[in-house]
Amino acid sequence: MNLIAKKSFPYGSRRLRAGDSFEASNRDGRLLVLIGRADIPKPAKEPPKVEVDPLDELRAEAEALGVAVDRRWREARLRDEIGRTRYMTRDMRAEE
């Protein structure tokens, strides 16, 4: 059991100070927590997952191509505008 010392005290063959992390058996760990000498560490919180809207990705792609994007456009219109812009700019590029 992984614990964090609340107070300074000897445990096993070492002297622990407040805030030290140490490993104890389950039996010793439960006892140390009950008498107030140690705490069980809290797991680190994961940052909340941010959901990315697929329309935002399409809007960014369209804006990168120079399309004046209207926020009311849905997926079909965005894909149509992106395709039309790519087709028009394809003909204007020099051959490599």
| 73 neighbors 56 (Cβ within 8 angstroms) | no
| This prediction's pTM | 0.46
What pLDDT score was predicted for residue 59?
92
Burial class (CB in 10 A: 0-12, 13-18, 19+), 78: buried
Confidence (pLDDT) at 92 = 60
- pLDDT the model gives residue 87: 82
Q: Which pLDDT value is given to residue 90?
A: 66
Please write the tens of the pLDDT for every residue from 34-81.
999 999 998 888 888 888 888 999 999 999 989 999 989 999 999 999
Look over the chain and give the mean of its residue pLDDT values, rounded to a whole number: 88
For residue 75, the model assigns a pLDDT of: 92
pLDDT at position 93 is 57
What average pLDDT does this structure show over 4-32? 93
